[in-house]
Amino acid sequence: MKGVLHLIYPPQCLGCAASVTASTATQADLCHDCWRDTRFITGTCCHRCGAPLPDDGAAQTADAALTCDDCLAIARPWTNGRAALVYSGIGRQLVLSLKHSDRPDLAPALAGWLASAARPLIRPDMIVAPVPLHLRRLFKRKYNQAALMSAHLSRTCDLEHRPDLLIRRKHTQMQDHRGVADRFENLRDAIVIHPRHVAFVAGRRVLLVDDVMTSGATLSVATQALLEAGSGSVSVAVLARAVKND
């Protein structure tokens, strides 16, 4: 069936929609031009947020305690974090397409990249949960892009998925163009654990999934809600990490 569908609908590059074949596509479903414009985070990175860090040798890549300037300056309630790519170029375009352009079809491929990046965080007893959307925003967008990716990631990594583990009880303003302090204030008390999952999460490790991390305010509030409910350690996995000078 897949072979027939490929004959009728040839595979397309996720970034530019150009037709790709086995000889022209990369392993990440991108054409060569879009591959070059996508910054995958595969080398040395911050162990708290996954931001890429300068790599001055093999010894540094083995150091699990490397921390970026942002994570040194801002307290992170979660334990470890990873990101698949930098929020720029084609990476930014794909995040925005999934989030705002009604492209849920992108989720399986993007979640595959995310699962690869999150492998060092995976533990057998983990619960996978997305950062939640408020119902008002969910009705407008029609789907939670983080939940689409977390569902695929959980299946890939054979982990339990709880898409409603957290709920967003306040409709907050968009975080764009806000300073770090304003972002945290905007989200104060906005995310809580679903009442029916309080007993279930007790002592369990959780992997939080989101599409993009900028200041980390949303992930911090979500992590704090889990820890206050008695969860075990929390790790975070995001598709894209916004970094300075990008």
CATH no., domain 38-241: 3.40.50.2020
**Residue 50: how many other CB atoms lie within 10 Å:** 29
25 has a pLDDT exceeding 50: no
Q: Write out pLDDT tens, residues 121-172.
A: 999 999 999 999 988 888 888 999 999 999 999 999 999 999 999 999 877 6
Which of 5-14, 29-38, 133-142, 170-179 is the least confident region?
170-179
**Domain boundaries defined on the chain:** 1-36, 38-241
Q: Would you state the pLDDT for residue 83?
A: 98
Helices (H), 62-144: 69-73, 89-100, 107-118, 135-141
Task: Report yes or no: 60 and 52 within 8 Å, Cβ to Cβ.
Answer: no
Distance CA 131, CA 227 (A): 15
96 has a pLDDT exceeding 70: yes
**Residue 48: how many other CB atoms lie within 10 Å:** 23
Counted residue by residue, the chain has a size of 246
60 has a pLDDT exceeding 50: no
Chain position carrying tokens 């054409």: 31
- Helix 89-100 / helix 145-157 crossing angle, nearest 10 deg: 110
Give every CB contact of residue 99 below 8 A, 6+ residues apart in sequence. Answer: 141, 145, 211
Q: How far is CA 68 from CA 34, 51, 72, 116, in A?
A: 27, 7, 6, 21
